[in-house]
A and B are shown apart, each in its own frame.
Chain A
């Protein structure tokens, strides 16, 4: 059972365009939703994250939109650049002990290609 479903599997946008990646989750105990960016041969890098008490969070060109009732969240990349070409993963986690979160459950990833 896949707890976090991510779409699309791949995405091609033109430079300057908007990239949108969507995720849906099943476990209502999840309370932390990060997005990671991964380049080939590198570890995932934390981009932006949201908690369910807000519906939107923006950091620079990256925005997370969160819909708690629909159990969906999405990443929007404004003014997409060729340097944004990478694999993007959504993830979700629930509270753990000692103030640290528990395991991250990842989507399967979206390969983003931004054409110049």
Chain B
């Protein structure tokens, strides 16, 4: 186990709704990265937070937003959900190069 936890485990939402996913990083880690993994694909980088500041963003629209809190936990918010947002959302925490992933949140948009 990596010590990275995510909630909820599964989520079903309707197109157009908004969703918030949560991640608790491993103790001592100050960086959280979020990834989207579609079925049968490798994870795609959404954005990274380092010491509460966004530290880079992938090719995702602004309706994907995030936060990092003083305890280094993080949230991923997605507005105006689309069917293509259905995926496994992974967070990874790190202190240096090694990124450790949580179990993910499976989001289904209907």
Contacts and interface: CB of A to CB of B under 8 A. Distances in A.
A115 to B, nearest CB: 22
A104 interface: yes
Q: How large is the interface on B (under 10, 10 to 19, 20 to 34, 35 or more residues)?
A: 20 to 34
A78 to B, nearest CB: 23
Given A100-B30, A102-B56, A103-B56, A44 B43 contact: yes
Contacts of B104: 42-43
Interface in B61-110: 90, 92, 94-104
Interface residues of A, number: 27
Given A42-B103, A43-B104, A45-B101, A100 B42 contact: no
13 contacts: A43-B4, A44-B43, A45-B101, A96-B48, A96-B50, A96-B55, A98-B50, A99-B96, A100-B30, A100-B96, A104-B35, A104-B45, A104-B92
